[in-house]
């Protein structure tokens, strides 16, 4: 068991209860709520912040399980949030959670904050056999999302897959669904993208090791390093000089698939804070012209500091009103490559953002899909004959992925679909076929799953405009 933060357990439990009340209101993203809480409580130490954040995210990941336990807990109904906090602090990696242990900070002195009834209740929770729990308490997904993923994975995999050690035996059919569900309850690793415009991956890995930061090369991205620990990176010299950025391996593969080259005219159509923009710019070796379009000027502003570190001088940020903005229309038919990393439900990032499964809805997914079709159509106008268009999301759902792609292909015969698997294999991506799916070649689309590839959930498809 790890050591407990210096804060008295009762004070820590009270703080966790307060933080959870704010998070469970779902008025804002959980990371923003946690950051604001820490700004307003500057007296909290580093370890206390870590314990509180871990506990809050544990509850968000396992909300249905913990609510099930809390319903049988001592005290009044109004104390349920406190009991959720107890479960979160008691820690996510032990018998309370289905699946292998998650990264956590257990608090062996938590009993000091609990009365005898609560201690007995917590011990009873820990003694529960996860296999005997109702299915929602094991998958911890809203029912609308669980049902869609069950159907989707049954269709895509066409059969069962083996269970990982540590997971409870499943009474339901559809093992691929359960493999995904359990993977979404785990913390994501920390991936870095080496800035190939400045450095080589092996050199950065060696420098990190000298700073006592151990890493391994990512299995698919030629630019990636994976850290199991979550060290503070802002003070690392290699970070400060722009030798790497934090970026999930799946996101790196999207930039790789675009295939941007020196001297080309390229656009990142929904650039956001610019993670993929920086990766694309590095592929172009700082040459040509790379447009970073987004409707949020605030997000593009956040890119400036990262751009300065990267050493890239070919990136031009442009805040637009919509996909029909006049500044975009001037570039119609002129760009070699366009990436559309479309706004989406974000359900592929549940390991990092577990609150999204409670903040999104089936209705919202439908609205995203409609907007995605509009954005893709607008971005396609920029591609010149012979140019490449790539559509991507960080969603798991067919509605936002294959369905959007199929509708675009049917309406735009001037675009030939890419064989994504063949493109990735040509770029020397290891085991490229493992990353792909599709109805025709079987490698029409990039399809990344947390339980299969240890990345966030990503989807991508591409086209070449006919000459």
Catalytic residues: 394
Backbone angles phi and psi of 107, in degrees to 5? -125, 95
Answer yes or no: are the C-beta atoms of 170 and 178 closer than 8 Å. yes
Q: How far apart are CA 433 and CA 441, in angstroms?
A: 11
Q: For the stretch 289-325, what's the b/e string if a residue is b when 16 or more beta carbons lie within 10 angstroms of its beta carbon?
A: bbbbbbbeeebbeebeebbebbebebbebbbbeebee
Q: How far apart are CA 177 and CA 462, in angstroms?
A: 27
Answer yes or no: are the C-beta atoms of 118 and 126 closer than 8 Å. no
Report angle CA 259, 265, 266 to the nearest 5 degrees: 55
Beta-strand runs (E) in 333-372? 335-341
**Residue 197, CA distances (Å) to 122, 251, 304, 351 in order:** 53, 18, 17, 30
Report angle CA 305, 308, 309 to the nearest 5 degrees: 90
Q: How far apart are CA 354 and CA 258, in angstroms?
A: 29
The C-alpha torsion from 312 through 315 and 319 to 320, rounded to 10°, is: -150
Q: How far apart are CA 21 and CA 13, in angstroms?
A: 12
Helices (H), 211-274: 237-240, 249-258
Q: How far apart are CA 215 and CA 205, in angstroms?
A: 7
Q: How far apart are CA 189 and CA 205, in angstroms?
A: 16
Backbone angles phi and psi of 86, in degrees to 5? -60, -45
- For residue 39, the 8-state DSSP code is H
Backbone angles phi and psi of 267, in degrees to 5? -135, 135
Residue 68: alpha-carbon gap to chain centroid: 27
Answer yes or no: are the C-beta atoms of 102 and 187 closer than 8 Å. yes
Please, how many CA atoms are within 13 Å of residue 244, restricted to the half-sphere of its CB? 31
The C-alpha torsion from 277 through 282 and 283 to 286, rounded to 10°, is: 100
Strand partners, 265: 289
């Amino acid at each position: 068991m790890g050591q407990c933060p210096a804060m008295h357990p009762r004070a820590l439990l009270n703080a966790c209860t307060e933080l959870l009340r704010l998070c469970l209101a779902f008025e804002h993203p959980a990371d923003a709520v946690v950051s604001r809480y820490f700004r307003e409580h500057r007296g909290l130490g580093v370890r206390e912040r870590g314990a509180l954040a871990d506990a809050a995210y544990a509850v968000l990941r396992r909300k249905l399980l913990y609510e099930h336990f809390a319903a049988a807990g001592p005290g009044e109904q109004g104390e349920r949030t406190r009991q959720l906090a107890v479960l979160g602090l008691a820690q996510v990696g032990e018998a309370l959670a289905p699946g292998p242990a998650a990264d956590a900070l257990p608090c062996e002195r938590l009993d000091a904050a609990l009365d005898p009834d609560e201690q007995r209740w917590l011990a009873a929770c820990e003694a529960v056999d996860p296999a005997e729990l109702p299915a929602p308490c094991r998958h911890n997904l809203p029912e609308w999302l669980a049902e869609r993923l069950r159907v989707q994975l049954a269709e895509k995999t066409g059969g069962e897959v083996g269970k990982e050690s540590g997971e409870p035996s499943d009474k339901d059919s559809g093992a691929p669904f359960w493999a995904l569900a359990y993977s979404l309850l785990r913390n994501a690793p920390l991936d870095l993208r080496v800035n190939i415009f400045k450095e080589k991956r092996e050199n950065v890995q060696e420098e990190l090791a000298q700073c006592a930061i151990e890493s391994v090369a990512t299995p698919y991205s030629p630019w990636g390093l994976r850290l199991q620990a979550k060290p503070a990176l802002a003070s690392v010299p290699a970070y400060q000089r722009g030798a790497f950025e934090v970026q999930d391996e799946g996101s790196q593969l999207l930039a790789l698939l675009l295939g941007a080259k020196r001297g080309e005219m390229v656009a990142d159509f929904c650039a956001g804070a610019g993670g993929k923009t920086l990766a694309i710019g590095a592929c172009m070796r700082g040459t040509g012209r790379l447009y970073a379009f987004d409707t949020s000027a605030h997000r593009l502003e956040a890119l400036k500091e990262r751009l300065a570190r990267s050493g890239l001088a070919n990136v031009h940020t442009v805040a637009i009103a919509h996909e029909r903005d006049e500044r975009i229309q001037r570039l119609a038919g002129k760009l070699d490559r366009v990436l559309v990393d479309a706004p989406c439900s974000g359900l592929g990032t549940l390991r990092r953002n577990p609150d999204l499964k409670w903040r999104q809805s089936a209705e919202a997914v439908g609205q995203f899909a409609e907007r995605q079709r509009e954005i893709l159509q607008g971005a396609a106008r920029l591609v010149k004959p012979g140019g490449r268009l790539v559509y991507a999301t960080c969603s798991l759902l067919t509605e936002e992925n294959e369905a959007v792609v199929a509708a675009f292909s049917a309406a735009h015969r001037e675009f030939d679909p890419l064989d994504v698997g063949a493109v990735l294999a040509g770029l020397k991506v290891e085991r490229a076929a493992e990353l792909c799916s599709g109805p025709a070649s079987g490698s029409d689309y990039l399809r990344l799953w947390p339980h299969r590839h240890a990345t966030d959930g990503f989807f991508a498809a591409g086209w070449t405009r006919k000459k």
